[in-house]
Amino acid sequence: MEALTPPRGLIADLITPLKLDGSIDGKGLEGILDRVTPFAQAVFLSSPCTGEGKNLDSDERSDLLEKALDVIRGRIPILIWVTQDTEEKTRKTILTLNKTIEGTRDHGQVFWVDTPLYFHSNRGLPAYYRDICSMVDQPFILHNDPELIRGVGTPFKRNNIRTSILKELTALDNIVGLVFLGPLDRAYNYQRACRGRTHFRIYDGDETNFLSYPSTSGVVSVGANLAPGAWHRIVQSSLLLKGEQSNGEDLRQIWELDQYLRGLKDIYQTMPAAVIKEILSDMGIIETPTCTFPVENIEKPKEEIKELMARSGD
């Protein structure tokens, strides 16, 4: 039997709001979720880059998940990045988060997002997942991000999940999707590898890829923190969830939204978490722009984004 059907559409890759002391800003999280959830089909917590997951330990992620579950109350699915820099720590994080879910009523759908090459080579991955899937009920969404892997400088040869390994992994019921970053040629190979699985989702982890050639599973969007309505409209249109475009005015508006979202991305892409937090903090949605890493020189991009958002009415 298939595991939970993963969501389709806009998955908002949320920043992690922090207080000055570095703890999770619950009120800020509520503010962001209130802003985003009406437009998103799911939210992605503690993602490695935007959600600063690389710097959050299992207890911090657990706290973040608990607070998010409390606000969302099962309205939309939650994806949470479970990966740590070793297999042992990753297992510990998954078990900790699993306890958090078990201790919450009305938790709705939760999916583990795991970047296996962050701590593991391709060799032996199927065995690893067979084992880990037997330990928890929540389904997994794999995360393939060659840039992330390159950045951490793992000793492993490959920065991408091998296609043949992915094929083996998709034979496991509890692996239900993949967030994909990288060149489209690899995406086609992955697509072929996953053909046998009904409802297996391959999400675009790269917003530009989605804006150019939209995956029909959906997109993991950083920009949705800033412009959830615009992203919602683009995703709805791209996935034809509302049928085909009906008139020229619709098309013109969508074209303008595309330009707006590409413009935002061009500005925030070098330091998304820091820039977005600054803006959300200025808007009063989160308490502080505190990040888990040192931040400098973001005045210019911040002002550019604010100007772009003001022009677009966001």
Binding site for other proteins (CB under 8 A): 184-185, 187-188, 191-192, 195-196, 198, 202, 211-217, 234, 236-245, 251, 254-255, 257-258
CB 192 to other proteins: min, Å:
7
CA separation for the pair 266, 273 (Å, rounded): 14
Q: CA nearest 65: which of 20, 113, 21?
A: 113
CA separation for the pair 286, 277 (Å, rounded): 8
CA separation for the pair 233, 279 (Å, rounded): 22
Q: CA nearest 179: which of 206, 199, 157?
A: 206
User: 242 or 300, CB closer to other proteins?
Assistant: 242
Q: How many CA atoms lie within 13 A of 70 on its CB side?
A: 13
User: 81 or 203, CB closer to other proteins?
Assistant: 203
CB 236 to other proteins: min, Å:
8
CB 223 to other proteins: min, Å:
14
CA separation for the pair 228, 268 (Å, rounded): 15
CB 239 to other proteins: min, Å:
7
CB 205 to other proteins: min, Å:
14
User: 103 or 196, CB closer to other proteins?
Assistant: 196
Q: Which residues pair with 202 in a beta bridge?
A: 178
User: 10 or 274, CB closer to other proteins?
Assistant: 10
User: 123 or 195, CB closer to other proteins?
Assistant: 195
